[in-house]
Structure 1
């Protein structure tokens, strides 16, 4: 089969040479080599690759500490840390062995390896690498200097996906994917994307697949696609002028997601009806149409189709695919399992601690349920949650949890919060158990949101069965809770932190606190984020206390009203109506999210559409509070001093805004007015409409003023005539 295909390419090339197209001949020869490599990689193990030949490949010896450092500092290495006493490790050994043999057959000439570490013999090494369970499969790569040369050190750059079954095929796919990501020599690997038939597309659309598949749809024919592959003269049509570039990116991406999803391409020009049914008919008449991308999941994931609408960027698309793959598995985690997927903590130290930048800023969403009472109707909310979280630009992950210790940890976090925010000797707080219950009590199933390095969980308080069926309310809850506790504000995230008030009416009084740091100075940045963490935790506690007291007042008022009705012997219906009167749930009001801008790269914000804050006006250590609708900001404190990243100073500003005491001067984002012309800020706040209204008012005032002046002149003229009657008449001579 391989010989026939290569022969066909040879004869095709000969015919082209006869037409004096030498360049095409060279390209065809290169393409034949790529096809041969691809066929060899995709072919089942037979003949020379038989089981008998595979068994001749022996596993290398396990690594000690020195050998581990030497091997991982030179090549990309997948390492299995195991214990000979671990039953899971023993049952996994044949899989690892077979995967190693297949790997050595397929990738023998590439700079990668598979090795093992016996943690009983090398306890110091496993402790250094923070190995807490077995088998633990981690990926290591050499640390390079700024010139791209090895430094003699290595680092852990990833781990085998938790939700991916540990089979030999998946292990080999993970190595292939890692090679495409980290080894520049593998950039010429043949594309893993396969051309899809109509039947294959229909199976994907209906979820009749066993593995997720990421599909690209092209306004092209098979002839055009193959001519690009073969280096021919025919190219994509004129209305797809960027397709050639996108195809190059797609080929790279296909090799970077092989462990997570299959990849395929579908040619809509050959099958326009199929693409029309998929609502891709924009290809039909578009003057310029780019490829479309859709991820299809197996139907047991409860949601099948997800359209990718982000930029055509390999890193961003891989991140999107990985996020969907992990979240759609709906993995069940225990309280301990949560600590394995994020930096979960129940306590925080009263000192800065070293962090790894850029921050991962993970947010973990847990669908919490009672295993003895949960129903399929309860879990019907999961695909809705999945779609909402997939739209989020943040590092957010979805799990299921059934361990009661998760709720116990929330109680512990609330208690430990008090000691963390008692940093000021002049103002001490006490744990309020009633408030803790009021803000965390819920029926199950419910939704719990945990954030890295935060003692503030978000809980969807479910008081009735139907509340877990209100998907629009759950979507709003997740959109509000999606923000990391503290994360870097980048130009790409501006649209996530700041919302157009015309499209989100429920963001009234929400704020964003921004501090300015220098990520080139990591020690100072750690200290700055520690101070920001203090004020973030303290404000959250004070806000809840403020609204908890309001609720107590409203409840007292309601009880008083009921007692008055009883005293008047009022009708039972009136009394019951008063007793059932809802007390508004206020804890979600006046939300504040906390973030930071890296000052050395802040010039990139000038290119963000709609962004009107000028980072050049601020220095490292400064702070600014901005309304979530990006209309107002505050960069001074109550004493009109420059706002700095100091907990007491920022707290005083936030509490003044919470109480709405009008002690803070309102400033308008992007407005050039101040001093005597401060009133013009209100005009500027309404944009073009404001200025048009201002012009109309000024014109009306001028018009009214001129009319009044004319009336006065007329009145003066009449009086003047009357006064003239008393003057002596001029003689005829005069």
Structure 2
């Protein structure tokens, strides 16, 4: 090979290796190399140029100054992703462009709005903090609902509802369900018109969204309408919407109200939306669809329930998420049921519809085989370790989860192989709305929960009496390969969770057996000590509740979207692809985070490790509680007075309790000393030959 040929081949090899880097360099952009955009002016403001998230600000506004570095950081982080999705983060200076902000009806600073190809879409929710994660989440939702853009090209289908029309709807004469909005307005005939709302900063945004919603719901055979509360004062006042009738406090913002009227019913047909006000119309769309569905109380079959339990939750690379539904099923026997049983279900429509993604059903089928089948599919999953004895569904586990009485309520959640049965012992409990709904709320979280800045604190604090901890797995959905990898780890977490549930149920049943044995021993001790028969009988009949606690909530945190939460979880290092699949365990009892498994290694989502670590943290023996110590020291009767003390206070509570007792003892001791001192002084305070000390005179 000649030197010339060798040199040529060497140059070609270098070019071949460097070409992908050059190509990648032309295709990607570095936000740090691009100049931060100057604020838009009236001449270059074009809200229809793709998707735009625009911050309207004033340079003299303190809140705007605080937001400035957050906004710039958000822009730099989102620049590359936004370029691919045709979404821009821009600003408008409302001091330099005052007329523009006035035409856009900007009422306060800072104000963040989303615009699309057909103009304004929605405002940044008031209840959300303007953090980096929330701003980026708000921007990403632009590509989630492309139908919104098409709907905005059609005029509003919401009709003005008169007093006569409203009365007919309440009388059950409507042909379709009606979603109504009540506005602080007087002459708003069309939702398309330019309405001058008073003391309602969000009304313009709500009005534009209501137009889009009316088009969407029309395709679902749900009509929409609006009432002007200033001209329909009697209706709005009777409904409790008097703040929309007239302005009573100029400092308080008035917001529209929403309600649904279902057709062909004269009672239980008017449902008010009681959730947080939002300009995001998907909230009201969900309210209308689920409330109307639940008001009809549809029948569900065993086959459909099996499909529900067999669903698999999968992460998606898109930001659109499929809701995980909760299905409340009332099982009854037509031959033994009474009319009151079915009438009672109507009282559940409203509270069930207020729980996110909850649906109400009825069935005449015996659901015991469905419950057993669901559990058996769970045991197929947890027999992954061939070195362990085969795990089997025990009859005690079925008895622990199934009440044989009929009628009864069941809860099935999408993808959850563990059904839940209402543990009621009387007909009165089955017809008590508050009792049923308290039980439903215990399982109102989805099977798998995404941790976001909005729900982080709520998930950690959710029902601490039943759930002792939260397992948070780190995932990343920014790319397809990472999403697939994250799904594999999430599946392993679910298997480990079910394996832990197998151990936990065994522990719960064992605890019941121990309590029964303790009850028997207690009755025998009372008998030996000669207590009255009534006292012994009461102790022997003491009710033993089947506690269903020490559960764990499973969740995931997408580090590509909400990395700021990691600081709250005690993660300080920069994450990489190697961190996908790691688990952080929150212990509510100690209020601490575990990032290491039981073996001292990084907590990775492996089924066996998940089971063993959860069992070690939540099923291990906790420190002896005061009621147990009291029983040993003072006997079983004294312990009864402290029976519920454990559930009312934690470890800190015991410390405070002891300090209070010591303080009382110390106080008694001080008072006793003072009392003795007073007696001593009283004895010394006598009149002698020279009189009292105070009357003595100096001889000098």
TM-score bracket relative to the smaller structure: 0.5 to 0.7
**Counterpart position of 1:307:** 273
**Counterpart position of 1:462:** 424
1:188-232 residue CA offsets vs partner (Å, 9 max, x unmatched)? 22211111112333444565545321111111111xx2488455x
1:335-387 residue CA offsets vs partner (Å, 9 max, x unmatched)? 12335xx54339x9xxx999897354232221111122222322344244333
Counterpart among 467, 472, 487 of residue 514 in structure 1: 472
Measured in 1, the distance between the counterparts of 2:369 and 2:551 equals 25
Measured in 2, the distance between the counterparts of 1:279 and 1:355 equals 43
Name structure 2 gaps, 5 residues minimum: 1-115, 118-144, 624-650, 660-700
- 1:404-423 alignment to 2 at 5 Å? 404=366, 406-423=367-384
1:186/1:210 CA distance change after superposition, 3 Å: closer
1:277-336 residue CA offsets vs partner (Å, 9 max, x unmatched)? 211122332432121112223436745322243422122321222222222221011112
1:522/1:203 CA distance change after superposition, 3 Å: same
2:237 is aligned with 1:276: yes
Name structure 1 gaps, 5 residues minimum: 1-146, 149-179, 664-684, 694-734
SS across alignment from 1:328: helix
Per the TM alignment, residue 586 of structure 1 is displaced from its structure 2 partner at its CA by: 0.8
1:629/1:462 CA distance change after superposition, 3 Å: same
**Counterpart position of 2:341:** 378
Counterpart among 204, 213, 232 of residue 244 in structure 1: 204
2:249 is aligned with 1:293: no
**Counterpart position of 1:658:** 618
1:568/1:492 CA distance change after superposition, 3 Å: closer
Measured in 2, the distance between the counterparts of 1:491 and 1:630 equals 22
Per the TM alignment, residue 392 of structure 1 is displaced from its structure 2 partner at its CA by: 2.2
**Counterpart position of 2:403:** 441
Counterpart among 164, 173, 176 of residue 211 in structure 1: 176
Tell me, yes or no, if the aligned pair for 1:216 and 1:264 is still in contact at 8 Å.
yes
Measured in 1, the distance between the counterparts of 2:503 and 2:459 equals 23
Per the TM alignment, residue 662 of structure 1 is displaced from its structure 2 partner at its CA by: 6.4
Counterpart among 171, 176, 195 of residue 160 in structure 2: 195
Matched positions, count: 468
Tell me, yes or no, if the aligned pair for 2:151 and 2:215 is still in contact at 8 Å.
no
1:628/1:558 CA distance change after superposition, 3 Å: closer
**Counterpart position of 1:497:** 459
**Counterpart position of 1:725:** none
1:662/1:596 CA distance change after superposition, 3 Å: same
Per the TM alignment, residue 487 of structure 1 is displaced from its structure 2 partner at its CA by: 3.7
1:221/1:655 CA distance change after superposition, 3 Å: same
SS across alignment from 1:240: coil
1:581-613 residue CA offsets vs partner (Å, 9 max, x unmatched)? 1012212x122121112221124759xxxx943
Per the TM alignment, residue 639 of structure 1 is displaced from its structure 2 partner at its CA by: 4.3
Root-mean-square deviation (Å): 3.6
Tell me, yes or no, if the aligned pair for 2:305 and 2:370 is still in contact at 8 Å.
no
2:607 is aligned with 1:647: yes
Measured in 2, the distance between the counterparts of 1:391 and 1:631 equals 30
Counterpart among 518, 534, 548 of residue 557 in structure 1: 518
- 1:93-172 alignment to 2 at 5 Å? none
Counterpart among 331, 348, 359 of residue 368 in structure 1: 331
1:356/1:613 CA distance change after superposition, 3 Å: closer
Tell me, yes or no, if the aligned pair for 1:214 and 1:294 is still in contact at 8 Å.
yes
- 1:35-114 alignment to 2 at 5 Å? none
1:382/1:612 CA distance change after superposition, 3 Å: farther
Measured in 1, the distance between the counterparts of 2:181 and 2:324 equals 30
1:497/1:293 CA distance change after superposition, 3 Å: same
Measured in 2, the distance between the counterparts of 1:648 and 1:216 equals 53
Tell me, yes or no, if the aligned pair for 1:371 and 1:402 is still in contact at 8 Å.
yes
- 1:220-369 alignment to 2 at 5 Å? 220-222=185-187, 225-226=188-189, 229=192, 235-258=195-218, 259-283=220-244, 284=246, 285-287=248-250, 288-298=253-263, 299=265, 302=268, 304-310=270-276, 311-339=278-306, 343-345=308-310, 358-369=321-332
1:486/1:545 CA distance change after superposition, 3 Å: same
SS across alignment from 1:214: strand
2:484 is aligned with 1:523: yes
Per the TM alignment, residue 560 of structure 1 is displaced from its structure 2 partner at its CA by: 4.3
**Counterpart position of 1:63:** none
Measured in 2, the distance between the counterparts of 1:190 and 1:353 equals 37
Per the TM alignment, residue 553 of structure 1 is displaced from its structure 2 partner at its CA by: 1.5
1:301/1:337 CA distance change after superposition, 3 Å: farther
1:218/1:389 CA distance change after superposition, 3 Å: same
Measured in 1, the distance between the counterparts of 2:608 and 2:213 equals 48
Per the TM alignment, residue 257 of structure 1 is displaced from its structure 2 partner at its CA by: 1.0
2:452 is aligned with 1:485: no
1:641/1:575 CA distance change after superposition, 3 Å: same
SS across alignment from 1:602: coil
Measured in 1, the distance between the counterparts of 2:185 and 2:555 equals 44
Per the TM alignment, residue 496 of structure 1 is displaced from its structure 2 partner at its CA by: 4.7
SS across alignment from 1:547: helix
Measured in 2, the distance between the counterparts of 1:605 and 1:205 equals 47
Q: If the length of structure 2 is used for normalisation, what is the TM-score? A: 0.60
SS across alignment from 2:348: helix
